[in-house]
Structure 1
């Protein structure tokens, strides 16, 4: 892994957007998996601006959803897919055939996992995986204790994830499980960015980057990968 610290969130977001644009310019048919949530929103807005200005063409690219709350979908405010549709997919004007997200309302969630696994594997792995890090060190919805070798899977959510997840909803919402890419897709991706912003993530980030590599801190897996870029703002890196 390499670590790069940026002075503030805006600079971090702009750099990330420009990196994604450069990757798509180099490989127009790239397969991209970009996390939802608060941290990547700034990068999404800047990437969309680049696309709308004609500086990057995403018409041949494929976008894969990272994770979703079980029982929720793109039309549900607060869902993971609702965020990426709102902030990225719709503003980019993507066609339906370019988007592959989990159907977290499906009767057969195992089949959904197999479908996304097969898609990624058929393309030789993700060209870019952009992820954040949860307060308990999770990446995507790979909670502490999840095997690093897992592909897509359904997970019982940790209490801390359920609590933090409430911020995405306008009223208290029952969250129990998630469906998510597994960490084998991180180890198989050609380019990985771990994006972390804010002082509150500082203690967990220090543990993930300088502590032992352990499944109890899923983000610690980045220590084992030479192609992972850990991009953080100064607030998040204050304890490093």
Structure 2
């Protein structure tokens, strides 16, 4: 197992392998302890390589039939089989190829919510692992800047930066302007959180998440308050943050970080 107190900064391919192994180890431990596990994975571009490793190397490593996959966020109005939907992404990359036993998603075939956001949250089992990406503005899920750490599962209007990063076509940005997301109170309650960040375009967001005082200005910064966070980043994403002492941790069990303008990790 990767030490929980040590942030990992590795080349992208190696990091994808390390992340996949850590996900499998974490789920395996939970399956051994409880017989079942609840996984909430990001449906962004960052974890695609990690999910490919899960499919290629770990299809038979655990009993995926005992894993319950819960959708973290979705665009309102999209059916689960719409290729723009996160439900379709999760089904193609994880649920079907791994043979995951249960998949809870937000929308029905007509694109409408199957249940209210509050009912969706109430019906969830305890979350064992969340796999996060991080938006350029510091969002996790569709919890945009301004979301408080106690925010519930809810419908949200998406920021122009989020829509611009996710869609190249104006018509898609207009059609998907509203989303629904697990709230921060739900995400921060997970037993374990894995935060993945690739590329120089995520460097400032990761710096704010790991180095600034946690606040609603950067929703991802709330993950540090849990004491149950693993951070994996490539050198480009981690270029503005370095550990004070490799493997050191504060009283909360989270890494000690400091900000070094222009610093690089080789």
Instruction: Tell me, yes or no, whether TM beats 0.5.
Output: yes
Q: Which runs of structure 2 are paired with 1:25-64 in the superposition (5 Å)?
A: 25-28=28-31, 29-52=36-59, 54-64=60-70
In the other structure, the counterpart of 1:163 is: 164
In the other structure, the counterpart of 1:217 is: 218
In the other structure, the counterpart of 1:186 is: 187
In the other structure, the counterpart of 2:259 is: none
Consecutive unaligned residues of structure 2, counting only runs of 5 or more, are 242-266
Q: Scaled by the length of structure 1, what TM-score is found?
A: 0.89
Q: Does 1:112 align with 2:116?
A: yes
Contact 1:138 1:217 in 2 (8 A): yes
In the other structure, the counterpart of 2:107 is: 103
- Equivalenced residue count is 232
Q: Deviations over 1:141-172 (max 9, x none)?
A: 001111211221100111111111205x7974
Bigger mean CA offset, 17-26 vs 134-143: 17-26
Q: Deviations over 1:88-108 (max 9, x none)?
A: 11111234xx00011175555
In the other structure, the counterpart of 1:6 is: 9
Within 2, Cα distance between the matches of 1:31 and 1:24? 8
Contact 1:5 1:237 in 2 (8 A): no
Aligned residue for 2:44, secondary structure, equals: coil
Aligned residue for 2:123, secondary structure, equals: helix
Contact 1:5 1:234 in 2 (8 A): no
Q: Deviations over 1:165-209 (max 9, x none)?
A: 205x79744221110011111221101111111111001211121
Q: Scaled by the length of structure 2, what TM-score is found?
A: 0.81
1:69 is matched with which residue: 72, 75, 83?
Answer: 75
Aligned residue for 2:66, secondary structure, equals: coil
Bigger mean CA offset, 170-179 vs 226-235: 170-179
Q: Which has the higher contact order (CA 8 A, sep 6+)?
A: 1
Consecutive unaligned residues of structure 1, counting only runs of 5 or more, are none
In the other structure, the counterpart of 1:126 is: 127
| Change in 2 beyond 3 A, CA 1:7/1:23 | closer
Structure (1 or 2) with the larger CA radius of gyration = 2
Structure 1 residue 57, shift from structure 2 partner: 1.6
